[in-house]
Amino acid sequence: MKKLSILTMIFLFVLPSFSQGLNDICISSAINIYAVGNAGVFLKSTNGGTAYSSSVIGNRNIKSVYSIGSNIWCAADNGELILSRNSALSWTTITVSSAHILNSVYFTDTLTGYIAGSSGSLFKSMDGGNTWSAVATGLTFNLNEIKFIDPQNGYLAGDNNSLYRTSNGGSNWIQLATPSVSNLRCFDLSGNEIIAGSSENILYRSTNGGQNWTAIPLKIQSIPGINALAILSPNNYTIILESGTIWNTTNGGQSFTFAITEFMDQLNAVSLLGQRLFAVSNKQFIVLRSLNSGLTWNLSQNTTASISFSQVLGVGGTNYNKILEINYQKRGVLYVLAKDLLYRTLNYGDNWSVISTLPLDSGQYKSTQLLVSRNDSSKMLAGLSTPASGGDLCRIFRTSNYGQSWTEVIQVKIDAIGNFMTSDPSHPDTVYLGARDSFYVSADFGFTWQKISEYPFDDWCDMAVSNSDSRIIYASTNHYPAKINKSTDRGLTWNFIDFVLDTSFSEMPCIALSNLAPNVLLHAQVSGVVSQTGLKRSYSSGNSWLFNQLPGASWSVDIAKDDPKLYAFGSVSYDPLFLSTNSGGSFTGTSNIYAEQIMYYDRANLFVNNHGNISKMKYTYNMPVIGIQNISNEVPVDFLLEQNFPNPFNPETNINFSLPQRSRAAIIVYDITGKEVIRLVDEFLEAGNYRINWNASGYSSGIYFYNLISDDFQQTRKMVLVK
């Protein structure tokens, strides 16, 4: 094996270079945290995650990091291990196997370590990572994660739904039978308690070392995989979903709570020490921290976020209705019905293609609603309407083969801007339809229909069936006053449970429910009276209501499918789309956008429909890190610490310093009392002239001192922060 000593390459980081995010994180102690990413990115915090310094340790994608004491091991995709014996002050590169990607590194102590990699590769070191020997596994698929309970007992997970156990320090591995039918993405263990997460949105749990398993479906409609897990104590787990939502359980998965976090994108790794947890995203250059066992999570100090919308499909020509739908069996698949064309995306809206054309004249008909079966996405109902006497004439077509063929099943008169169909989540083949003064039901997903009641509702704006009780159906109507009606006998009889006082003009165009919070009922409400326009919220299935007055012609609302605390609310008056992360307790306005339909697919994916032009929301995060810039190739004659500039400053300042020889350099900032505030630099550096930037946004105004310590040299200067 080839062994090469290298120095840390340090420079001032420009954030866009980290657009690919971070791959792994490790808590070495209460104050030392390390994170790694592509292109050799290495982050280090020496203050418990309040701030991070950044460096590059070679040109490779680092997949995994592990640390014990001052030892740090980083596994890369080019078969190299990069290790440090002095808390990241200097590094050594060792080629473990140039033929394999190294996916996971784990050490049971400072000497004994393991690396799992591609194509069934497994390696073991007995000397702290200096040398490695291959362990024969007989496997050909990727091994993705390795962990040990103690020096003898460990577990290894890989593709093809594989989980293996060793009881003799990795000499032999025995495959365990798991009930998963898809890849296990992650696992964690504590004694005989093991939990594993799959790409199929199911948590698996064993309390006897993997001999027997219990499957715990999370029942999230957008099916996010489980990317990372942590066992905090027996029965107490933190679950990191690929959508970025974090679930917690204290009873072994019998029930779950939803962590509080402002982060809105994918997460992929977690590390635990006591009550402290840290998580990273491979989509964003951020670090999340929880200090209370995963209940609340915060971004690193001074991290900023911006929100934008980009159009991902532009077809137009539709109306104010729900023509954007999801595939309930395959993640990332969505459909749009635009006039007579059915579009599909397989990658969260990034690319679309036409998969079907309905047998209608697109010049005469507009798409009105698309409904996809919850248990068989090959079955769909498509409503297309055209103006007619007594209301729009809607022709409803059915397919059972993803649109390869369509059969017309019913014609009804509808409101031109209503969402008139819904299915029963508990019985997906049961579909309800509201047409003017009539209410229909189908027990075979729209193949045949039966009228079950008549009521003078006139216009059916939206309908939804309770996720916990199939007898309960909610329906909103307008013209005037607009009402929310509730049936407790599957549509045979109805009673109104909310209404708008305005009798001259009012509508309730949209209803939102969540299977994760069955008693929550939301509806948008628009009125000619501004004080009555906004969002109505019930947490008692409509028995009582709260109101958020929001601007614009309120039209759409949805609840994130992976976290029932996340709401999105929009209008058709080009006002801001509003977001809430606390169940409507407060809302934040984003970009102005027409939102005739909102599809809150999950925390990381929100879509807006405007006449068939589909836009997707994107968060961009900026986490400031401490970086060093080498500002001159000339070798200075003496050590020197220069006066910061600007000074006084708010909130950023620069500090130049010079080193005449390779040495360990530390620049430490102290407050007026002499208390250490932050270490801007603590590295071995080559001889040269350097500049370090300090962003003091999180600190109070006042006098600070900064000190350069290098070899036998020390120098201190004063600076003033004025806010």
Amino acid 18: pLDDT: 39
Residue 319 — pLDDT band, cuts 50, 70, 90? Answer: low
pLDDT of 55 > 90? The answer is no
Lowest mean pLDDT among 187-196, 201-210, 474-483: 474-483
pLDDT at 262 over 70: yes
pLDDT value of residue 112: 97
CA gap 344, 615 in Å, rounded: 14
Q: How confident is the model at residue 626 (pLDDT cuts 50, 70, 90)?
A: confident
**Alpha-carbon separation of residue 647 from 579, 651, 719, 721, 722 (angstroms):** 40, 10, 6, 8, 9
With a cut of 80, say whether residue 3 has pLDDT above it: no
Q: Do domains 307-622 and 641-721 have the same CATH topology?
A: no
The domain segmentation of the chain, as residue ranges, is: 3-306, 307-622, 641-721
Residue 277 has pLDDT above 80, yes or no: yes
| Residue 403 and residue 411 in contact, taking contact as beta carbons nearer than 8 Å | no
Q: Is the pLDDT of residue 92 over 80?
A: yes
Per-residue pLDDT at 377: 96
Backbone torsion region of residue 140, taken as left when φ is above 0, otherwise alpha when ψ lies between -120 and 50, otherwise beta: alpha
Q: What does the pLDDT look like over 338-373, one tens digit per residue? A: 989 999 999 999 999 999 999 988 788 889 999 999
Those residues whose C-beta lies under 8 Å from the C-beta of residue 641, and which sit 6 or more positions away, are 655, 657, 667, 706, 707, 708, 715, 716, 717
Contact 399, 405 (CB under 8 A): yes
Share of the chain above pLDDT 70, in %: 96
Provide the whole-model pTM: 0.88
The sign of the CA dihedral 562, 567, 572, 574 is: negative
Confidence of residue 5 (pLDDT cuts 50, 70, 90): very low
CATH number of 641-721: 2.60.40.2550
User: Which residues have C-beta within 8 Å of that of residue 712, sequence separation ≥ 6?
Assistant: none
In the prediction, which pLDDT does 318 show?
64
Confidence of residue 15 (pLDDT cuts 50, 70, 90): very low
Smallest CA-to-CA distance from 568 within 615, 529, 532, 630 is with 615
Fold exhibited by the domain 307-622: Methylamine Dehydrogenase; Chain H (2.130.10)
Mean pLDDT of the chain: 91
For residue 8 the two structure tokens come to 């840390």
Place of tokens 């402002």: 262
pLDDT tens-place string over residues 207-221 = 999 999 999 999 999
More confident residue, 629 or 253: 253
pLDDT bracket for residue 630 (50, 70, 90): confident
Neighbours of 532 (CB within 10 A): 19
Fold of 3-306: Methylamine Dehydrogenase; Chain H (2.130.10)
Phi, psi of 55 (to 5 degrees): -150, 170
Angstrom CA distances, 405 to 342, 396, 399, 400, stand at 12, 13, 6, 8
